[in-house]
Amino acid sequence: MALIRNSLLFICFVVQLNATSILSNYENAKIELEEYIENKKKEVNPRFRPLYHVAPPVGWMNDPNGFSFHNGEFHLFYQFYPYDSVWGPMHWGHVSSPDLVHWKQLPTALLPEKEQCFSGSAISQENGLTLMYTGRVAIDVEPYFNETQYLAFSDDGINFYKYDGNPVLSRAPNGSPDFRDPKIWMYEDYYYVVIGSQTTDKRGRVLLYKSSDMKSWNFLSVLGESNGDMGYMWECPDFFELDGKFVLLMSPQGLEPQGDRYKNTHQTGYIIGNFNYDTNEFEQEVAFQEIDFGHDFYAATTTEVNGKRYLIGWFSMWDEPHPEDVDGWAGMATLVRELRIVGSRITMQPVEEIVTLRNQIVLDSDIEPNQILVFGKAVELIINSDINQKVDLLLEGRKGGSKAWLRWDPETRKVTIDRGSGDIRQVEWYPNGSIHWQIFLDTSSLELFCGEGEVVFSSRVYALGGWKLTNESNQTVHIKANSLKRSTPE
């Protein structure tokens, strides 16, 4: 008996030693990564680095993840590969903010082990912040990957540990290997999650699940599905109530261009409808619409705080050049926008706190045709014009780089951003009231908000040495310009 007891004690000691070793290896990897980032930041070329948009300290960034509010702070995570400025094994980068404008860099939240840490979401609880993400694992047979849903927990909102019982959702109902990007929320006493997937005949869909503890999940319904012309995969789904309606936000892959629409590699948009928590059915009222009309916008996600619904997106695009990648980093996030439903559309406006970035008014005057203005790297422009006449503004770098023309044609009622060589995005605009344009220029980006946010464009424009504006219109326009302060880490 003593021999058996001693053997059991030895086995328990070995198991505990191995568990401690595994934990130690993961924690050591986190420490080594932060040391690497601190050293590597010194090599980054700052010529295109944003001053008030979230960007990775080094390496690659894509989808924003885990957008949430916890213990008085907003948290934003993002898909992150620190070791090169191209996509690689996915980590979760992490920043926080008191106001959605000023951001602080935090330690990397998740590191890949056997699984890559693909996109997901976060939910605040009394005992901490919980992440739900897709673990993508390579396998030896087609399609050579498997996607399941994982949990990670934190007591302090900074240090996260993965759940020992992962994965908590191991397969789609139809067995599709494309099963990713969980967005979790709580309603009454239950957790709900939507997950992007596809049908067996390659049509995008969004799946709805329910749980009492986040660890055991029951499939409820197909919340939405492509009818055949809405893409082969619906990524990064989000589902929320807004102004008395329900919104299914997602990023469909594989939409064919239709005139001015769907010109990017992949799109992001939404469906407006009604939802019943008893039947778990989402009834579409307004068909899919793009939410941003610029060149570089994808994988948007939202959070709600104090009755306001906020959105942020990836300010880049797949399969397009990223000129900053030679500088040691690539990818950034858009400004945070507040959402509303007006009529049959969602409007987006910058969060109110954006005014705290204003440094000083550098211009407030009428600008004649062919007049040229120069600004620094970070500026807000408020433009008023006669919208019964054409507007044509050229924005470019003071020392070179890329260019963009902002145009308005009253005959077609189209707002256009033209980056040259036929690289055009445009859409019809019907103002709800205000007719001004609000433009946010950062070192390598342009965001245009028309009127009260009925039409928004997010496009990367790489301006060297600050910005230059030329009024190529035949009319005089009024421009008020505010220089903006830095609000993100150097």
- Its pTM stands at 0.94
Average pLDDT of every residue of the chain: 95
Determine the pLDDT at residue 300. Answer: 98
Residue 84's closest CA among 31, 28, 29, 44?
A: 44
CA distance 401 to 188: 52
Query: Exactly one of 63, 181, 238, 418 is catalytic; which is it?
Result: 63
Q: Residue 415: which pLDDT band, with cuts at 50, 70 and 90?
A: very high
Q: Yes or no: say if 283 and 274 are a contact pair by the CB < 8 Å rule.
A: yes
As a whole number, mean pLDDT of residues 409-438 equals 97
Q: How many CB atoms lie within 10 A of CB 185?
A: 17
How far are the Cα atoms of 90, 99, 123, 187, 191 from residue 184, in angstroms, in the given order? 20, 22, 7, 10, 7
Check residue 490 and give its pLDDT: 86
pLDDT tens digits for range 261-295: 999 999 999 999 999 999 999 999 999 999 999 99
Q: Output the CA angle 315-318-322, nearest 5 degrees.
A: 65
- Cα separation, 62 vs 36, in Å, equals 20
Burial profile 80-94: b = 16 or more Cβ within 10 angstroms, e = fewer:
bbbeebeeeebbbbb
Phi and psi dihedrals of 19, rounded to 5?
A: -60, -45
Q: Are 80 and 60 in contact (CB under 8 A)?
A: yes
User: Any idea where the domains of the chain sit in the sequence?
Assistant: 1-43, 48-350, 354-484
Q: Which CATH number does the domain 354-484 belong to among 2.60.120.560, 3.90.25.10, 3.40.50.10860, 3.60.21.10?
A: 2.60.120.560
Instruction: Give the mean model confidence (pLDDT) for residues 166-187.
Output: 97
What confidence tens digit (pLDDT) does each residue in 141-158 have?
Answer: 999 999 999 999 999 999
Q: Does 63 qualify as catalytic in the annotation? A: yes
Nearest CA to 153 out of 209, 82, 70 is that of: 70
Question: Could you tell me the fold of the domain covering 48-350?
Answer: Tachylectin-2; Chain A (2.115.10)
Give the CB-side neighbour count of residue 265, counting CA atoms within 13 A.
10
Distance CA 241, CA 264 (A): 27
d(CA 195, CA 149): 9
Q: Give the C-alpha separation, 121 to 126, whole Å.
A: 17
